[in-house]
Amino acid sequence: MSKVILITGASSGIGKDAAIQLIKEGHKVYTAARRIEKMKELQEMGGFPMQMDVAKNEDVKNVVDQILQKDGKIDVLWNNAGYGLYGSVENISIAAAKKQFEVNLFGLANLTQKVLPYMRKAKSGTIINTSSMGGKMYTPLGAWYHATKHAVEGFSDCLRLETKQFNINVVVLEPGAIATEFGDVLTQPMLDNCKNTAYEPMAKLVAKTVNDSYHKPNGASPRSVITNIISKIVRSKKPKTRYRAGKWAKPMVWMRLYLGDRIFDKVIMNEVK
């Protein structure tokens, strides 16, 4: 059955790749991102790109209103927009940290609030929130990013309990290292944030680890890992509450849960030597 789907953060990476597949499967796919010029391919395929900054309430409201005017419903909302702010706690400004939360958490929450009344009245819908394996673990210099993803996890769990009575599915997606531009967007600002500080040597080591993990052939393919999962969630009447996939996702979260803080600290720091 064809569904009306809204995907944020769809101008690149896992969002764009999954959007391509969902369009091919016959769904009506609205793709939202700041860089609308990056979604021409999706429009040519039959998708509906829309310009939206998830941190701007006016943009969010306009997108939801337009979709509802055209289709009267949104069957699937995939909150996928986000980025990684890396740098030391000592040096990252609170203003920058607030922006990280505005995009990764509050933007997600705002869009969810605007879509929920219509899913609730329809007694049907699926909300997918992109967290990360970083929502269950941590790495050096990633305090603010991990804080947002831990928050997304808790937000999603509470939302799932609240909306179950209305037959709304809430799913948490926890990708590991995927071969996308995420690593590139993360590393240079991190190096800039730590330049000429006591954390510069650590930043260089973390950057090397990130580059090794996220670039092909080391990073997992979006198509083989995440796209197939998203397609499965969209088709399912009762999807799982969590899907964890991608390089390191399952073993790293397992180690975090069962090894204890001190041993896990050593595991993580061994990766950035």
User: Cα–Cα distance between 78 and 135 in angstroms, integer?
Assistant: 17
Known catalytic membership, residue 236: no
Catalytic residue among 86, 145, 199, 243: 145
Q: Which amino acid is at 102?
A: E
CA 42 to chain centre: 19
132 carries an active-site annotation: no
The closest alpha carbon to 256, from 247, 245, 267, belongs to 267
Q: Which residue among 3, 30, 114, 131 is the active-site one?
A: 131
Q: How far is the CA of 16 from the CAs of 38, 158, 186, 261, in angstroms?
A: 9, 28, 19, 36
Is 145 an annotated catalytic residue? yes
Q: Which of 3, 28, 149, 247 is catalytic?
A: 149
Please say if 11 is a catalytic residue: yes
Catalytic residue among 11, 132, 156, 213: 11
- Helix ranges restricted to H, the chain: 13-24, 40-45, 57-71, 94-101, 108-122, 143-163, 182-194, 200-214, 222, 228-235, 249-258, 261-270
Q: List active site positions.
A: 11, 131, 145, 149
